[in-house]
Chains A and B, each alone.
Chain A
Amino acid sequence: GAVVSQHPSWVICKSGTSVKIECRSLDFQATTMFWYRQFPKQSLMLMATSNEGSKATYEQGVEKDKFLINHASLTLSTLTVTSAHPEDSSFYICSARPLRGASYEQYFGPGTRLTVT
């Protein structure tokens, strides 16, 4: 089956530093990858949509200069949280839409838990 990995699975960083989270589709190519954020006991909120080789599209209210997204290949998208603050602590989940497959298909990664101290 289609597998999406995320690295790291959890990270603790100090306030003011930057953190990079990787999302990889392991056995398929992904035209589009999505980044979501989930605060404790809340739902997933779409942050941005990234397409290989083009700029990401950010949802309203998400700071593009703070959450840098790069989709350099059909199997890798990265999310960099710049100058992280405690309020950025959250569970970050990516999903990937296969290049070939039914239009509704998308596969989620296992998530990355970010804690900013």
Chain B
Amino acid sequence: AQKITQTQPGMFVQEKEAVTLDCTYDTSDQSYGLFWYKQPSSGEMIFLIYQGSYDEQNATEGRYSLNFQKARKSANLVISASQLGDSAMYFCAMREGVGGADGLTFGKGTHLIIQP
């Protein structure tokens, strides 16, 4: 079974609209972390936002917010007021366990295209 599922291979969104990118995860660990990364065509991985499993508040970073629904094992990324520069691949990822010693498991990604 996939640990991270992103069901939207591609999305087209009008500039200035809000975007929700879906992510569900599967783990039996009580302690885990959820990440979202942006990967433009250059290939670099740009960290957007992090949510720890024990964090009660949804994480926010500027125009990015993470809609964390623990019972549903869902960690959707919301981008408010989308911009042309937001066009890229977006990956949801999870690290299981404590301490940060483990690498990340990534979903297949969503290719987001912002249209003017």
Contact (Cβ within 8 A) A103 B100: yes
- A→B interface (CB under 8 Å): 32, 34, 36, 38, 42-46, 49, 59, 91, 93, 95, 97, 103-108, 110-111, 113
The total of Cβ contacts below 8 Å across the A-B interface reads 58
Q: With an 8 A cutoff between CB atoms, is B99 at the interface?
A: yes
* A105–B52 alpha-carbon span in the complex (Å): 12
Kindly list chain B residues whose C-beta atoms are within 8 Å of the C-beta of A49.
101-103
B38 CB to closest chain A CB (Å) equals 11
Could you say which interface size class chain B belongs to?
A: 20 to 34
* A103–B99 alpha-carbon span in the complex (Å): 5
Contact (Cβ within 8 A) A46 B105: yes
Kindly list chain A residues whose C-beta atoms are within 8 Å of the C-beta of B43.
38, 91, 93, 110-111, 113
Q: With an 8 A cutoff between CB atoms, is B98 at the interface?
A: yes
Contact (Cβ within 8 A) A104 B45: no
Kindly list chain B residues whose C-beta atoms are within 8 Å of the C-beta of A44.
45, 91, 93, 104, 106
Q: Contact check: which of B35, B47, B99, B103 meets A34 at CB < 8 Å?
A: B103
